[in-house]
Structure 1
Amino acid sequence: MLRLFTDVESGCRELTEDKPRVRCWSPIIGYPQVVSHVYIHSAQGLENQDKTGGADPYVIIYCEGKSVKSPIKKDTLKPEFDVSGVFYRRKPRKPITVQIWNSNAVKDQFMGQVMLSGSVKDNKERQIMQLRKQGAQMADEMPGRILLQIVTETQLTAI
């Protein structure tokens, strides 16, 4: 038994299985081939977004239609996100996208992104990656870097 006390909503859920179940439709839609654990530590060197000279950044990890969003870090250009996600991936060649956004009352502003291959052969150590633009200008750099770690395994119970 594990009892957890917090001052805020933690979003904790009970883990009832070690890996996804094989369902009757698994042969049609596919069964996960790999599991990836993406851990976002922090960001640095972000561009000023607010009139007060700071930003209210948050990070979103996208993988095969699923996403994990961090809480908003108020008035900082060096946020400590400490957020992670575990993704069971059916299409391991499809990249994982990590985006940083600035929270605003009306419309959030895009601050940059990185694309991760999530290959089993990738470096499992912490990496500092330069933020890039999205869309057709993806090759262009944006201000800021992100510190992250990704571990991908073929054994679905390894993480």
Structure 2
Amino acid sequence: MHKEVQPPVLSSTESDSPSICLQSHLTEGRYVIIPTTSSKNHKRKFAIRLITDKYTKLRNLILDQPETSENGNIESPQRMTSITILKAESLWIPGLDKEPDTYVTIECEGTKIKSQLKKDTVDPEYKLRALFYRNRPHKTIKIKVYASAFPNDYLLGSVLIAGTRNAFAKRKVYELQGPPETRGIWLLHTETFSSDNLNAF
């Protein structure tokens, strides 16, 4: 889990400074804060202060993977799957005289991750990544693209992804299942990592 599978979303080059302040706008998800020294093999104590405009659950990352249960009545993770929604293409909406505002969600076993809203574009770059420890790997993962509208958002199309075992760096373009007139036009670009080794990434 701790191995790097994508570039850092935020970092500092001021490695020699005793105090560093970083500010960023992040999408909803899980992030790991890794303090480092300027030189290798130096042990130091760090104080981390996280200030956010929304509730954030900050905790120590101790385990490399979720604990498995010895109780046969309690499900344990069987597969780890990482999905990145890179972008969508040609999201022209019939009857709409402007480029749409859209967002994408990833749903897996009761957990939903939502991207930022991408405004005024038919080719949104979502770059939304989600990591799931799956108790029931035979169940598909649902990807849904929504249009933001007043008074209610509405579903443009969806894709089902299996997240099969040992699928590493697998990029694929899916056709969004939307209205008949959009078949073969609305496309979704994804990248999938999946393994039954819960410490593979």
Smaller-chain TM-score bracket: 0.7 to 0.9
- In structure 1, list runs of 5 or more residues that go unmatched: none
Query: How many Å apart are 1:50 and its aligned residue?
Result: 7.7
Which position in structure 1 is the counterpart of 2:196? 154
In the TM superposition, residue 125 of structure 1 has moved relative to its aligned partner by 2.3
Aligned-pair CA distance for 1:157? 1.1
CA contact under 8 A between 1:49 and 1:102: conserved in structure 2? no
How far 1:106 sits from its partner (Å)? 1.1
d(CA) in 2 for partners of 1:8, 1:49? 32
Q: 1:95 aligns with which of 125, 128, 140?
A: 140
Take 2:60 and 2:171, find their aligned partners in 1: how far apart are those partners? 26
1:46 aligns with 2:63: no
Partner of residue 21, structure 1: 67
SS at match of 1:107: coil
Supply the AA of the counterpart residue of 1:62: E
Partner of 2:23: 6
Moved more, 114-123 or 96-105: 114-123
1:73 alignment counterpart: 118
What's the CA shift for 1:143? 4.0
**Following TM superposition, by how much is the alpha carbon of 1:15 offset from its aligned partner in structure 2, in angstroms?**
6.1
Return the offset for 1:52: 4.0
> What letter corresponds to residue 20 of structure 1 in structure 2?
P
Higher relative contact order (CA 8 A, sep 6+): 1
Residue 143 and residue 109 in structure 1: after superposition, are their counterparts in 2 closer, same or farther (change >3 A)? farther
Pairs aligned (count): 153
Larger proportion of strand: 1
Is 1:58 the counterpart of 2:103? The answer is yes
Q: Who wins on radius of gyration, i.e. which is larger?
A: 2
Moved more, 106-115 or 40-49: 40-49
Q: Which has the larger displacement, 4-13 or 118-127? A: 4-13
Structure 1 residue matching 2:176: 3-state secondary structure = strand
Cα RMSD after superposing both structures: 2.8
Gaps in structure 2 of 5+ consecutive residues: 1-10, 12-19, 32-57
Which has the larger displacement, 38-47 or 12-21?
12-21
**TM-score normalized by the length of structure 2:** 0.66
Which residue among 112, 127, 130 is the counterpart of 2:175? Answer: 130
